[in-house]
Amino acid sequence: MNPSEQLWRQAMLPVNATIGQAIRNLNEVSIKIVLVTNEAGELEGTISDGDIRRGLLNGLDLNSPIDSVIHRNALVVPPDLARELVMRLMVANKVQQIPVVNEHNHVVGLHLWDEITTPPARSNLMIIMAGGKGTRLRPHTENYPKPLLPVAGKPMLEHIIERAKLEGFTHFLLAIHYLGHMIEEYFGNGERLGVRIDYLREQTPLGTAGALSLLNPLPEAAFVVTNGDVITDIHYGELLDFHIRHAATATMAVRVHEWQHPFGVVQTNGIEIVGFEEKPIARSHINAGVYALEPAALSVLNSGEHCDMPVLFERLQSVERRTVAYPMHEPWLDVGRPDDLLAANTI
């Protein structure tokens, strides 16, 4: 077994757990699977990131039970199956984890495909929007571009590039404008980081999508775009795979945002009181600033014209191109204000 016994035991949850507990388990144990067992200790099924995302899109929240998202026909193997056969099963079934169960259907181990040490090489381009002035972060950005501000001893931009490199991305395009020469001087051609870095130089600020209109030549395949001030543990490769699997023209990573009303709400019909709701919680999906796009998505942009990503998505919808949401639950921080920068350095 690749993982220690302690790891797969930590990945086990009872069948009456909640979506929130499953998300916390996925984040903390970091083996991309939750093993769900019943009171008798038998394996009921498994839960993956994909199962959680589908549940969130179907209206579930953090307090919902996991029952409806359990994958109950999970592939399992006996303890004595040869390692080579386990690997063949993984490839044939396109899975990265297979629980090991005994004759009583009790979990006794877990086979993992160690994706981190052997990431699939991705020829897909990754574009990072790094041209903003960062006015909300002044005075930090008066003489320094926001993407170069340090987080845990490294520029935000470097964290993004290194994380994407771990997932097989090797070609990056940095869209720069404000103090862009400082970014070029720091990163150069990417050789120091073991990647290739090119630059897209905006003459005027073009927004979070407008710089893409300057691409020449166009990318040959789907590509990832991220804001240069978003610190996140999102798996860029999984976002790209999700986008391709759903045959989308544009995919937006979204986060569930919860806001609790500070007061009790009175429901009325005219002057009649018909109900009460004590400090209700509103839930919505917010734009996480990370996207996957097809080259065809750029056809709705005008060269050199300011455009933000939501407008790009609206234009694609108006011409009936498919746009989808990728619900994410990974840690995420939009470093837009001084308090955010402080928070990023204390995580």
Q: Among all residues, which ones are annotated catalytic?
A: 279
Cα Rg of the chain (Å, integer): 23
Strand partners, 272: 269
Is the Cα dihedral 120, 121, 124, 126 positive or negative?
positive
Helices in the chain by DSSP H: which ranges?
5-10, 19-29, 49-57, 83-93, 156-166, 180-187, 207-210, 236-245, 309-318, 338-344
Label residues 71-106 b or e (16+ Cβ within 10 Å = b). beebebbeeeeeeeebeeebeeeebebbbbbeeeee
Report the distance separating Cα 167 and Cα 35, nearest Å.
Answer: 25
Report the distance separating Cα 287 and Cα 289, nearest Å.
Answer: 6
